[in-house]
């Protein structure tokens, strides 16, 4: 036939949309919008970028509306109301096209955790969840790990809750290293105890917006009410080995709200001293693609809907070295000051049994915590 007329004009919109919906690469949609004015208008009017994103991540159906950087919003003020619908479609096209690109090409990070929020239980102040952010096992003279409280029933689960570096984050993998205790004492058996769990499961979601400050909560048991989980994974079996175990999600998951929780199900290791079951974790990593600072979210409570905020249309660079080092210094300080932080969080421990760690020497002592201010290492 070799017609020079626009092929699309022979087909109705529905048919043309059908061809374009077969395109599953965001770059193809973007290039299609460069073909001509009418094609670009077609792509925008039919929300092709949005539909592509929805196909990739159905959770995006909870987007209530899109907002763009303030600088762009100002230029729309003068536009008449009849054009508002078109301007909204254009805005959605820009945001979703860039979001789709983000899914495919924003830098992948191995350290998507920004900070530890709370553990379901902690045995001692120096065995806090903050230790799990530290890759090295030995910090000075301290072995760095988190320990749950001990239970005689191995079925009691534990949870570790973290804040990610981005409010909107694509998560592909979680890595967990259980803690291995070396038994070297003459009084007990030689060997190793590895305090892994039977299996793990992951949840992702957001903080309930009416809770201002996690640190204000005085009762750690109520932390279950602080979060709304919008994704729960299947259970992954865990092995009783002290290696960094990789749990790859079957498909990347979009974490909306930046909160990730690890549930450790089933205890396998008894402690030789008190014969109770514990779970202890040495290190946790979350691997994925942070979509902030380009994108932000604002949850609209009480529904689970949210506002998708396009904050910047600049392709992000990998996190600069200096920022990484600063984050690591912060983690170190958190660990060194665990006792105070735990009290602030409400993980109050019986002070009589409290043992203070001193950075340059390790000594078992019975002194109470009154002289704590002398021993704090402030950055």
Partner 1 sequence: MSSTTEIETHTKTITLKTADRKLFTLPEPVAMEFKTVKSFFDDNPDASSHTVVPLPNVNLGELEKISFCCEAQLDFRSRGESAKDESKAQQKKFLKQQTNDELKSLILAANYLDIADLLNVLNQEAADRIKNKSVEYVRRFFGIENDYTPEEEAKVRAENAWAFEGVDPDSDVDPDEDVMMN
Interface with partner 1 (CB under 8 A): 1-8, 10-12, 15, 18-20, 22-23, 25-28, 30-40, 94, 97, 101, 105, 315
CB 58 to partner 1: min, Å: 21
Q: Which residues contact 207 (CB under 8 A, 6 or more apart)?
A: 214, 226, 227, 228, 257, 259
Nearer to partner 1, 1 or 186 (CB): 1
How many CA atoms within 13 Å lie on the side-chain side of 174?
A: 29
171 vs 164: CA distance, rounded Å: 10
Nearer to partner 1, 36 or 182 (CB): 36
Taking each helix axis as running N to C, give the angle between helix 13-21 and helix 48-56, from 0 to 180 degrees, rounded to the nearest 10: 40
CB 87 to partner 1: min, Å: 16
CB 258 to partner 1: min, Å: 24
Nearer to partner 1, 33 or 121 (CB): 33
Nearer to partner 1, 7 or 362 (CB): 7
Distances (CA, A) of 105 to 25, 166, 171, 206, 316: 12, 16, 14, 24, 10
CB 240 to partner 1: min, Å: 44
Nearer to partner 1, 20 or 202 (CB): 20
CB 28 to partner 1: min, Å: 6
Judge whether 229 and 260 are in contact, CB under 8 Å. Answer: no
CB 92 to partner 1: min, Å: 15
315 vs 39: CA distance, rounded Å: 25
Q: Which residues partner with 286 through β-bridges?
A: 174
333 vs 348: CA distance, rounded Å: 20
Tell which residue, 29, 38, 51, has the closest CA to residue 8: 38
Q: Which two tokens stand for residue 353?
A: 């049994």
Nearer to partner 1, 36 or 136 (CB): 36
CB 107 to partner 1: min, Å: 13
CB 61 to partner 1: min, Å: 24
Judge whether 337 and 376 are in contact, CB under 8 Å. Answer: yes
Nearer to partner 1, 100 or 238 (CB): 100
Nearer to partner 1, 152 or 318 (CB): 318
Give the angle subtended at the CA of 60 by the CAs of 81 and 199, to the nearest 5°: 165
Torsions phi, psi of 302, nearest 5? -85, -5
Judge whether 287 and 172 are in contact, CB under 8 Å. Answer: yes
CB 98 to partner 1: min, Å: 8
Distances (CA, A) of 135 to 161, 278, 281, 341, 372: 17, 21, 11, 20, 27
38 vs 3: CA distance, rounded Å: 18
Nearer to partner 1, 106 or 277 (CB): 106
């Amino acid at each position: 036939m070799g017609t020079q007329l626009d092929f699309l004009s022979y087909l109705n919109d529905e048919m043309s949309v059908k061809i374009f919906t077969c395109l599953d690469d965001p770059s193809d949609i973007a290039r299609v919008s460069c073909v001509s004015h009418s094609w670009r208008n077609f792509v925008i009017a039919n929300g092709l970028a949005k539909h592509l994103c929805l196909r990739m991540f159905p959770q995006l159906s909870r987007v209530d509306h899109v907002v763009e950087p303030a600088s762009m919003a100002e230029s729309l003020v003068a536009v008449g109301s009849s054009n508002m619908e078109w301007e909204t479609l254009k805005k959605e096209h820009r945001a979703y096209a860039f979001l789709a690109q983000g899914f495919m090409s924003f830098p992948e990070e191995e350290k998507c955790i920004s900070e530890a929020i709370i553990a379901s239980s902690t045995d001692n102040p120096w065995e806090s969840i903050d230790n799990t952010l530290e890759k090295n096992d030995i910090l000075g003279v301290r072995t760095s790990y988190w320990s749950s409280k001990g239970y005689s029933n191995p079925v009691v689960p534990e949870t570790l809750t973290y804040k990610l570096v981005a409010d909107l984050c694509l998560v592909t993998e979680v890595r967990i290293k259980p803690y291995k205790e070396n038994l070297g004492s003459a009084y007990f058996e030689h060997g190793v105890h590895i305090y892994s769990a039977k299996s793990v499961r992951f949840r992702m979601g957001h903080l309930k917006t009416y809770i201002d400050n996690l640190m204000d909560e005085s009762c750690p048991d109520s932390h279950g009410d602080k979060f709304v989980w919008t994704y729960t994974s299947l259970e992954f079996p865990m092995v009783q080995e002290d290696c960094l175990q990789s749990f790859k999600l079957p498909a990347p998951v979009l974490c909306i709200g930046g909160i990730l929780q690890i549930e450790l199900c089933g205890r396998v290791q008894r402690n030789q001293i008190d014969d109770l079951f514990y779970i202890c974790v040495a290190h946790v990593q979350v691997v994925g693609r942070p979509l902030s600072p380009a994108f932000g979210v604002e949850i609209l409570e009480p529904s689970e809907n949210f506002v998708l905020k396009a904050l910047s249309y600049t392709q992000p660079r990998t996190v600069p070295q200096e920022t990484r080092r600063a984050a690591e210094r912060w983690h170190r300080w958190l660990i060194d000051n665990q006792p105070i932080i735990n009290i602030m969080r409400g993980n109050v421990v019986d002070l009589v049994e409290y043992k203070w760690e001193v950075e340059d020497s390790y000594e078992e002592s019975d002194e109470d915590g009154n002289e704590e201010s002398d021993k704090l290492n402030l950055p």
